[in-house]
Structure 1
């Protein structure tokens, strides 16, 4: 999907609803930032649940902002493409690698208020040539708001009333056999002529199975364009879920085998204990396929009905172009925006109130919203700007080192006073009850330690391993030795 959202920050709930209901894997967005704002948007603040975001918000000359949203099921990486006409032309490029094929996807925005439209078109043409030269075997999908109202499209090629050779963008499409798939207007509002501003350009039109327009998001006058792309392979909607049957492990009575292997060697006894537990866990662990859960758990039937009603009213307005239908559409659109915002706030308040009872659900919600790329922005060095990673690291290192005082390292340090404890440490044996209590109080949700044993494994098998662990701890105290793990 490609859409001009015209400031994304106040349309996030409705955008997430559209992404969920339409089952969209990739979305390219333009004009995500407000025109005149004192605050700089960040990727974390506009990242929809369940999507990784790639944007140009960290670039110093970012004016309106563009972004590419990719579902967490896909492995996507950012591509650095030179842009000669910032900030009037903004672009973000990513690549998607699949078995036996590669896709290059972009979100491009050309400002209609650019002081030189010819330079803007030339900058986009140069970026396309760069991608065509460096990714000759990839399938290209160049999308965005190109703002070319004077260009009309016939059989995928652009035409103008003037000489087409004077338009560098149209010329690069013709020279490289690129195809523009949008044939209907993408911007429409009462009192103005419809125009095709949002485009989808590809070098393999057979991959684009179907293209359709959706109703605008929020108060935007641009219609999102939904394109169905044919992929040779697609990530599964199911994920592997391991399951360990701890009940059967406890019934095997492995405690009898463990006690017989506790010897005077602490290291050898610990290795036998650990390997026995890990082997038993592997024998009783099976892998099941679990369907990936929905990202929007608060999506209700009322929201779905409002989305369908909004879609039908917009389609009716496109056909009839009457003010009465448009007013009904605006009422439904405002109601949908209000309901999605209210449900989002209610859902997040519910997560915050129950964070102690269900912390995993809370942190899962947070982690799904923090899938953006966290990179160090370009650093200013006197009158220049450093974008190289090594240069930025050196500048930050110099800044940190400058705040520390420099001491004379040649001088000798005063000798430390030695503390003497006249009372010797008494040997207090560790009891079986103490070991059992500590095992039962373990948090089963914690991660695995360096030894490979999960806290849940130790907690579930506490009756079976308490005796050998108590013997091993006392043996370690008596000999004054610790195992390597």
Structure 2
């Protein structure tokens, strides 16, 4: 059913590598990336998971542009509507007014047309420009020292090696012990990185709380 819906919508799935590795499992591609145009997605990179997650982080470039709708459109100013006049216009014999219509759909269309005409008469309009549909935000990065950054890079290299070892293990090209040893090394380093980044984040939060009165817009 899921695959049929993807095909019906003419979507392209871009992830072809294993995105989840855990224990003796064969590895799975559980994290997917779809687009309605194949050419707009590129530079896909799978990097080591964050924290305790066993799902890879997916980085990719999407070739889209920030758009701004500059078109003009009319909107009703209901706060300035003449509701008394509207009430008077709608006080009519609706049964008699709609009785000549042959079916429900015709009656509805006639009612809707009349109601819309009353709105156009009693509610003033104004012209507005379209609003910006997307905005860019910049987030302050955590102050990571060189030692921790080196561990992050080593973690990524271990993740790449773990994927290779998983493929070899599935193909019976390496022993289970060799694969589990690589996984153990990766998990150990991942826990170190997670613990150190949490401490940095905690210190950053404490600094913000300490200086919030002097700099209330820090975040």
Q: What TM-score results when the alignment is normalised by the length of structure 1?
A: 0.27
Q: Which residue of 2 aligns with 1:213?
A: 46
Alpha-carbon offset, residue 171 of structure 1: 1.4
CA offsets per residue over residues 434-455 of structure 1, 9 Å max, x none?
xxxxxxxxxxxxxxxxxxxxxx
SS at match of 1:338: helix
Q: Which residue of 2 aligns with 1:363?
A: 217
Aligned length: 139
CA offsets per residue over residues 348-386 of structure 1, 9 Å max, x none?
223333445xx22x5322xxxxxxxxxxxxxxxxxxxxx
Alpha-carbon offset, residue 178 of structure 1: 1.5
Q: Which residue of 2 aligns with 1:192?
A: 25
2:161 alignment partner, one of 296, 316, 322: 316
Q: Which residue of 2 aligns with 1:328?
A: 185
Question: Structure 1 residues 328 and 205, CA, compared in 2 at 3 Å: closer, same or farther?
Answer: same
Q: Which residue of 2 aligns with 1:303?
A: 148
Q: What TM-score results when the alignment is normalised by the length of structure 2?
A: 0.57
CA offsets per residue over residues 268-292 of structure 1, 9 Å max, x none?
xxxxxxxxxxxxxxxxxxxxxxxx9
Q: Which residue of 2 aligns with 1:69?
A: none
Q: Which residue of 1 aligns with 2:207?
A: 350
Question: Structure 1 residues 299 and 190, CA, compared in 2 at 3 Å: closer, same or farther?
Answer: same
Inter-partner Cα distance in structure 2 for 1:304 and 1:173 = 39
Is 1:228 aligned to residue 73 of structure 2?
Answer: no
SS at match of 1:218: coil
SS at match of 1:314: helix
Q: Which structure is higher in RCO with an 8 Å CA cutoff and minimum separation 6?
A: 2
Structure with the largest fraction of helix: 2
Task: Give ranges in structure 1 of 5+ residues lacking alignment.
Answer: 1-167, 235-291, 366-485
Question: Structure 1 residues 202 and 293, CA, compared in 2 at 3 Å: closer, same or farther?
Answer: closer
CA offsets per residue over residues 1-57 of structure 1, 9 Å max, x none?
xxxxxxxxxxxxxxxxxxxxxxxxxxxxxxxxxxxxxxxxxxxxxxxxxxxxxxxxx
Inter-partner Cα distance in structure 1 for 2:142 and 2:7 = 46
CA offsets per residue over residues 122-158 of structure 1, 9 Å max, x none?
xxxxxxxxxxxxxxxxxxxxxxxxxxxxxxxxxxxxx
Alpha-carbon offset, residue 293 of structure 1: 7.0
Inter-partner Cα distance in structure 2 for 1:216 and 1:173 = 27
Structure with the largest fraction of strand: 1
